[in-house]
């Protein structure tokens, strides 16, 4: 659902003591970490975690990790036979200063030629079979495991080279240590061999284990903050127009409009960023796309027609407006309507010649030769985008690395 507010993102301090920020390190290998994160992302979000994804280890730096409370890793990173020194120094330093590290399943199979990774995680993968089993809890009194319900599922039966060190084994599979914890400086590390695919990740008890591991490794103060977090709520009403394609019972309700501030507070932004309100209703109505120009002005498509107001001649009530902050306080205080009379435009891109706009079936160039912020001419650059589904038209115009203009288009049938 579109919110009433347009928001500008600024690189500022972390947003406040409510959510717990977690960096999830994955890769694009056969374990499909992005899919596994998707299995638990919603419940973790509702539990008070804000999770960012990363698969390039060079971007895991000490400066970036300073914005997080914990790191969760589920990856093989097969392109690295040894642990990259800068990455390891950043991660180890983060943990030693009190950060949490949750290592899952194949993480013990990373960096197979690095003894320091073996010592850090506590094991190195050797081999596996497959089996339906339930791990045996050895430390039911440990704060991380107390009251945990356990589960039975199909998984890989990891056999590993172990570095016992100072670790405390929490569970085992047969005689094989299966999960453990250890300390690293002021911080804590948790590892479990569970989690090859969705048959484990979709188990409620595995989700519970992830929450427990994040709480315990991040520390009591951070865990208390997470438990005190209250997710934002919005008023809803029953309405016949709400689709229910998946057949939920009861059917979903219609969310009533929220205030701009309530919408801002509900946004989940990457760690280290803060969302600030730039413009809201009544200055801007039903925004669908926006872009910035070299003067710091926001060009925005306003679409009162979207999604059902299709006009046969494509002349409607939609418009493109320019929003400006003339006094430098971070909020728009001036609005100029650049062009009106459009019908279901879906994307825009500022170029030297003017403004490129998608309005299926056309790709348009809106020009302003005299520079008065009023469109003087509309040229059709391309014709042929499909119009049968207003949700599936062209969108997301961007400059490409080849200096071409790229965009996305849904499955709408071409003209």
Single out the residue of 163, 170, 207, 208 nearest to residue 40, CA to CA. Answer: 207
Q: List residues bridging with 210 in a β-sheet.
A: none
The CA-based diameter of the chain, rounded to the nearest angstrom, is: 80
Distance, in Å, from the CA atom of 86 to the CA atom of 38, rounded to the nearest integer, reads 28
Alpha-carbon radius of gyration of the chain: 26
Q: Could you tell me the two tokens for 356? A: 């490129």
Distance, in Å, from the CA atom of 18 to the CA atom of 230, rounded to the nearest integer, reads 8
Alpha helices in 219-352 (DSSP H): 220-228, 260-266
All structural domains of the chain with their residue ranges: 19-228, 264-409
- Which residue do the tokens 């899952």 mark? 104
Phi/psi of residue 138, nearest 5 degrees: -100, -20
Counting other chains too, the contacts that 224-233 makes at CB distance below 8 Å and 24 or more residues apart are: 225/17, 225/18, 225/20, 225/48, 226/19, 226/20, 226/47, 226/48, 226/49, 227/48, 229/18, 229/19, 229/20, 229/47, 229/48, 231/46, 231/48, 232/262, 232/265, 232/266
| Degrees to nearest 5, angle at CA 211 with 148 and 102 | 105
Alpha helices in 255-389 (DSSP H): 260-266
> Element (H or E) spanning 187, and its range?
strand 187-192
**pLDDT tens for the chain, residues 1 to 415:** 233 334 343 333 334 447 999 999 999 999 999 999 999 999 999 999 999 999 999 999 999 999 999 999 999 999 999 999 999 999 999 999 999 999 999 999 999 999 999 999 999 999 999 999 999 999 999 999 999 999 999 999 999 999 988 999 999 999 999 999 999 999 999 999 999 999 999 999 999 999 999 999 999 999 999 999 988 889 999 998 898 999 999 999 999 989 998 899 889 999 999 999 999 999 999 999 999 999 999 999 999 999 888 887 888 999 999 999 999 999 999 999 999 999 999 999 999 999 999 999 999 999 999 999 999 999 999 999 998 888 898 999 999 999 999 999 988 777 6
Distance, in Å, from the CA atom of 343 to the CA atom of 130, rounded to the nearest integer, reads 57
Whether the CB-CB separation of 362 and 346 falls below 8 Å is answered with: no
- Which residue do the tokens 């347009």 mark? 6
Single out the residue of 190, 195, 164 nearest to residue 177, CA to CA. Answer: 164
For 19-228, CATH number out of 3.40.50.300, 3.30.70.2190, 3.40.50.880, 3.40.50.620 equals 3.40.50.880
What architecture does CATH give domain 264-409? 6 Propeller (2.120)
Cα–Cα separations (whole angstroms), residue 135 to 72, 139, 178, 251? 21, 12, 7, 38
Strand order, beta sheet including 100-104: 49-54, 20-25, 70-73, 100-104, 187-192, 176-184, 168-173, 136-137
Single out the residue of 138, 145, 73 nearest to residue 111, CA to CA. Answer: 73
168-207 residues labelled b (16+ CB within 10 A) or e (exposed): ebbbbbeeebbbbbbebeebbbbbbbbbbbeebbebeebb
DSSP per-residue string spanning 165-185? TT-EEEEEETTEEEEEEEEET
Cα–Cα separations (whole angstroms), residue 154 to 10, 105, 131, 135? 45, 14, 6, 11
Mention every residue, 6+ apart, whose C-beta is less than 8 A from residue 64: 23, 90, 272
Q: List residues bridging with 322 in a β-sheet.
A: 299, 336
Mention every residue, 6+ apart, whose C-beta is less than 8 A from residue 279: 5, 6, 298, 300, 323, 331, 332
């Amino acid at each position: 659902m579109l919110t009433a507010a347009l928001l500008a993102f600024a690189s500022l301090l972390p947003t406040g003591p409510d959510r717990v920020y977690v960096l999830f390190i994955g890769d694009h290998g056969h374990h499909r970490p992005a899919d596994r994160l998707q299995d638990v992302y919603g419940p973790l979000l509702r539990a008070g975690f804000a999770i960012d994804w990363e698969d390039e280890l060079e971007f895991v730096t000490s400066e970036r990790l300073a914005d997080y409370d914990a790191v969760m890793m589920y990856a093989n990173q097969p392109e690295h036979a040894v642990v990259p020194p800068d990455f390891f120094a950043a991660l180890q330093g983060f943990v030693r200063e009190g950060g949490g590290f949750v290592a899952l399943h194949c993480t013990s199979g990373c960096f197979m030629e690095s003894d320091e990774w073996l010592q850090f995680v506590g094991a190195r993968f050797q081999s596996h079979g497959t089996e339906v089993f339930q791990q045996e809890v050895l430390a039911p009194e440990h704060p991380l495991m107390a009251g945990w319900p356990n589960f039975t599922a199909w998984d890989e039966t990891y056999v590993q080279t172990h570095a016992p060190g100072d670790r405390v084994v929490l569970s085992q599979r047969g005689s094989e240590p299966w999960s453990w914890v250890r300390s690293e400086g002021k911080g804590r590390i948790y590892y479990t061999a569970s989690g090859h695919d969705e048959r484990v990740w979709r188990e409620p008890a595995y989700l519970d284990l992830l929450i427990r591991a994040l709480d315990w490794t991040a520390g009591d103060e951070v865990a208390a903050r997470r438990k005190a977090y209250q997710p934002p709520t919005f008023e809803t009403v029953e309405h016949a127009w709400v689709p229910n394609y998946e057949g939920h019972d009861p059917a979903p309700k219609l969310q009533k409009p929220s205030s701009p501030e309530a919408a801002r507070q509900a946004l989940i932004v990457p760690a280290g960023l803060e969302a600030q309100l730039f413009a809201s209703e009544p200055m801007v109505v039903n925004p669908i796309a926006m872009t910035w120009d070299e003067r710091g002005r926001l060009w925005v498509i306003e679409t009162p027609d979207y999604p059902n107001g299709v006009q046969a001649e494509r002349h409607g009530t939609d418009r493109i407006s320019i929003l400006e902050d003339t006094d430098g306080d971070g909020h728009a205080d001036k609005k100029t309507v650049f062009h009106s009379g459009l019908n279901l435009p879906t994307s825009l891109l500022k170029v030297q010649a003017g403004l490129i706009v998608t309005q299926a079936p056309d790709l348009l160039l809106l020009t302003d030769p005299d520079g008065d912020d009023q469109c003087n001419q509309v040229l059709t650059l391309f014709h042929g985008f499909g119009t049968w589904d207003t949700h599936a038209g062209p969108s997301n115009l961007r400059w490409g690395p080849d200096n071409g203009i790229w965009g996305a288009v849904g499955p709408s049938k071409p003209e």
